[in-house]
Amino acid sequence: MDKSKTKDDVIRLTVVGDGTVGKTFMLVRYVTNKLPLGYEPTIFETHNCTINLNEKRYNVILSDTSGQEYSDRMRSFSYSFALSNCFLICFAVDSRTSFENISHVWIKDVKKANRKASIVLVGTKSDLRNTPNETISKEEILKLVKEIKAHSYVECSAYTKDGIDNVFNEAVRVAAKNMDKNSKCVIS
C-alpha cells in the first residue's frame, strides 16, 4: 500500500488564544508570507498547506478560531469540527492577561474539545520582547508548559517572520509523533 496516500498524512492544527494576540497574523504570514493589512476579528477560518518534515509530506489543515469572548459557543463548535491533532495555544509575550487566560480559559476549552490532541504553546509578538513593555519571562513560560502539559514551546513574530516556520514545523512534528503513538495497538 502506498503510504503517501493514507489519511495519516493529513494533520489538523487549530490555533486558539485571546483576541489580538496575533493568531491570524501568524497564520496568514505563514501561508502567504505577507502581513494582513489590518485587524479584523476572526470567527472561524481554515487554510491549507503542505509541510515536508523528516522526508515525509503532510497535508495540513490550519484552523483559525476567534479569541473574542462573544464567540465562546463558536469556539466549542469549531474545536469539535476541526478534529484537531494539535492545538497551538497562543499568547502575546507582552500581554500578561493573554498569558494568564491560557490556564483560566484555553487549556480547559482544548481539553474539553479533544483530550488526545497534542499541545504546542506559542508566544507571539516576540519582536516586542526587548521593548519597555512588561513581557512574560522564560521561567514563567516553562512553568506553564509543565502545568498545561504542553509538548513544547515556540516563540515567533509575524511582523519580522522570526520563528514562524518553527511554530508550524514543531506542531506537525508533535502531532505526527502523537498520531503514531495513538495509532499503535497491542492485540493479546
pTM (2 d.p.): 0.83
Task: Return the residue matching grid coordinates 515567533.
Answer: 156
Beta strand 152-155 with 118-124 is: parallel
Q: Encode pLDDT of 56-84 as tens digits.
A: 999 888 887 765 554 454 455 555 445 88
Task: Return the residue matching grid coordinates 503517501.
Answer: 4
> Is residue 93 in some structural domain?
yes
> Is residue 188 in some structural domain?
no
The structural domain count of the chain equals 1
Grid coordinates belonging to 72: 465562546
At 133, the pLDDT band (50, 70, 90 cuts) reads confident
Q: Contact 162/127 with Cβ under 8 angstroms?
A: yes
In terms of residue numbers, what domain contains 68? Answer: 8-182
Beta strand 86-92 with 10-17 is: parallel
CATH code at position 59: 3.40.50.300
Angle between helices 23-32 and 164-183 (to 10 degrees): 90
Strands lying side by side in the sheet with 86-92: 44-53, 56-65, 10-17, 86-92, 118-124, 152-155
* Per-residue pLDDT, 164: 97
> Is residue 2 in some structural domain?
no
> Is residue 36 in some structural domain?
yes
> Is residue 3 in some structural domain?
no
